[in-house]
Structure 1
Amino acid sequence: MAAAIQSVAITGTKDRTTPKPHTVYEISITTAMRSWQMWRRYSEFDDLHDELVKTCSAPPPAELPGKHIWSLKSAFHNEELINERKAGLEKYLRTIIASKDAQWRDSAPFRQFLGVPVTKYQEAQASKEAHSSPVFSTASWIEEHNEVQALSREVKASLNRRDSLWDSGDTRSSNSANIQAKRHLADLVDRVGNLARGLQSLSEAGLSQGELQRRTDMVTKLQDECEQLGKIVAIARNPNRQPRAPTSADSMAGNRDDRSALLGGSSSRPIARIFGAPQKAPQETEETRPLDDRGLLQLQKQKMVDQDAQLDQLSAILQRQAHIGMAISTEIDEQNKILDDMTEDVDRVTGKIKKGNKLLGQLSS
C-alpha cells in the first residue's frame, strides 16, 4: 500500500500561457517520511473526479467547485475565482483523505494524481497478483535487490538482538525478537523468489548474457543467506535452560569457537546451492585481524551504516532523475498540445483558402 498521507494543502497558484492561458494549483503533500509538491490545473481535478467515479463505482464524498459559464473566458487572472477554486479544491482533497471509507484515497488514480511514491516491491507484488509473476525493469530489479539486502541485515540484527536479550535474562523480549526475525525471513524468502522469477522475464526481454549471469550470482548469494538464516532461526535458545552470566572461561572458549566459525571453520556438510559456482570461505583481512569479537561486531555495524548511507545517496540520485523525467514528460505533453493547436489552425486556414478559391472560381465564371 502506498505511503499514508498525513496532510494535503493547496499552497499557491501560478499562471501559465502554454498551450493556452490557464492557472495551475500547487498541492503540498506530506507523509511520515517526506513532503513534495504537485502542480495541477482545474481540468485535471475534473478528470480525476470522473476517474474516481469509474474506478470506485461511487462518487467521492466531496464535490468539486462548480464551473461558471460566465467565467470561462475570464478565469485567467481572475483572483476572486482562483481563490474560490483554491479553497474548494483543497476541501475536495482533504475530504477524500479524511473519509472513513478509504476506497477513493487508496485508488490508483488518486495516488497517481498526488504523485504518491510506491516502492518497486509493491509494484511487483501488484503485478504478481495480476499476472502471477513479478515484472521488473533492469533498474527496478537492482533497486529491489538493494532493498532485499537491507531486509537481510534486519533479520541478522533481530537474531543478534534475540541472543543478546536471552543472555541478559530477558526471555520475553528474546522470544519477541525471534518472532520478528521469522516474519522478516518469510518476507525475505518471498522477495528473493520474486527476484529469481524477475530474472526470467528480463532474460526474455533481451538482458545480456553477462549481466544475466552476474545477477544470477547475486540471487544465489541471497538464497544462500536465506538458508543460513533459516538454520539460525530454527536453532532457538533452549527454553528449559536458565540464562546465566558467562564466565571468563566460557568467554574465551566462545571467542575461539566464534572466531573459528567466522574465519571459515568446517561444517558438517556444505550448503547446497541451486546454481552458480561455490563461494570461498571468508578470509582474514588486515582490517579484521587485530579485532576481537566485539571489535568485529562493531566493524560490521559500521559497514552496515556506511552501506545504508550509500543507499540513501543512490536513492536521492534516483529521485532526482525521476523528477527530471517527469519534467521532460510534462514538457513533451505541452509541446504536443501546441502541435495539436497548430494542426487545428492549419486545417481551419486550409478550409478558408479552399472556400475562397471556390468563390473566386464562381466570380471568374
Structure 2
Amino acid sequence: MAPQLTIPSTDITNPPDGNKPYTTYTIAISTPSSLRPSQIFKRYTEFEALDKALRAETNAPSPASLPAKSWFSKTVGNEKLTEERRKGLEGYMQAIETAENPQWRNSVVWKEFLGTPTAGSKSDKSRHFDGSRGAGGLNGGAISSSSAWLEAHNELKSQLHIARMALARREQATTPTSQHEAGAAAKKALLRSGTLIAKLEDGLRRMSGNKTMSKEDLAQAEILGEGEIRRRRDLISAARKEREGLENVLNTLAVKSAVAGLSNPGQQSAAATAGAKKDLFQGPDGTSSSPSAPKLYQSGGGRRVLGGPPPKETEKTRELDNQGIVQLQKQIMETQDLDVEDLTKAVRRMKEMGIMINEELEEQSTLLNLVDEDVDRLGGKIDVAKKRIRKIN
C-alpha cells in the first residue's frame, strides 16, 4: 500500500552562516506498518531539483506541476503565499503516489527524496543500520547499504532541523525553565547529529571498498562509485559545518544567559549559578567536602549531595543532563577512534612509501654500480687505444 504524504506545517529556518532565511516544509510520511508518521524537511529548491531529476530519469513530465515560483515576493513573512505553495507541493507529491503509471513513484530519485529503500535492490536485503527514526539510529550497527545511508542522512537533517527550532525557542524563551528545556533539546539533537555524522562517514568508508576492511564486511557492503562517494562526502561536510554553527549559537546563548545572571542578580537565568553548584558539592555539615570524603552520602536534610572537588564546567556540558553527558562521551570516543584509525592508515601509507623508496634506491644503486663498471671498462679500452696510437706515431 502506498504511503500517505502530507505537509502539515511549515517553518522559517535561519541559517547559522548568516544567509537569508528560507521556508522549510515538513513532510509527514504515514504507512500502515508505522505507529506514527515519520517526518522529513525539504526546501522548495529541493522540490525543483526532484522534478528536474524525475523528468531526466523518466523522459516524461510529472503527473502534476510544481507551484509556480514568484520572482517578486517570497514565502518568508507571506502567510498567503506560504499556504498556497504548501498546498501545491502536497498535491504534487500525492499526484505522484496516486498516478496510474508507477514509473515516477518507483524511480530511484523519488525514493531517495523520501528516504525509502529502493525495491528489489541489494540494499533491502542487507541493511545494517537501525532505522529507528525516534532514536536517530544511535543503537544501530554499521551502515553498509545505500538506502540505510540515505535514511541516516535524512535523520541527520531532521535532527539539525530540530536543533534549529529548539535554538529559536530558547532565544525567545523568557523563563529559566523554558530556556533550559529548549537548550537541552537543542543539545540532545546536536549530539545525535554528531553520532550520525560519524556513522555516515564510517558507512562511506565501507561502501568505497576500503581495503582495510575484512572480507566479510566487503561481501556485505554495497560498493558505490567514486562520483557518488564524493557527492555524499560533500553532504557530510555541509552537515558538519551546519552542526558546528548551531553548536556555536547554543554556546553563545548559554554564555549570554550566564552573563545576564551575573550582571542582574535579581533576574533568574537558566544557567546554574556558582552558589547553587557550591551547595551541591558541600558536605553534611555545610562545609566543602575534602578529597578523602565519601563520594556520595546523605546530608542532614535527607537529600543526596556529591562530595569531592567540583568538576570543571565546559560550554558543551553546561546544559546537559546525565544521559546527554553519556552520549557526548560516546561521541567523543567514537571521534577519537576514527582519528586513531585515520592516523593508523596514514602511518601504514608512510611505511609502504618508505619501503618503496628503499627498493627504488637499491635498484638505482645497482644501476649506478653497473654504470661505474661500464665506465671503468670504457676507460681501460680508451687507455689501450691511446697506447696503440702512440706506437703508430
TM-score of Structure 1 vs Structure 2, range by shorter chain: 0.3 to 0.5
What is the TM-score normalised by the length of structure 1? 0.36
| RCO comparison, higher one (Cα < 8 Å, 6+) | 1
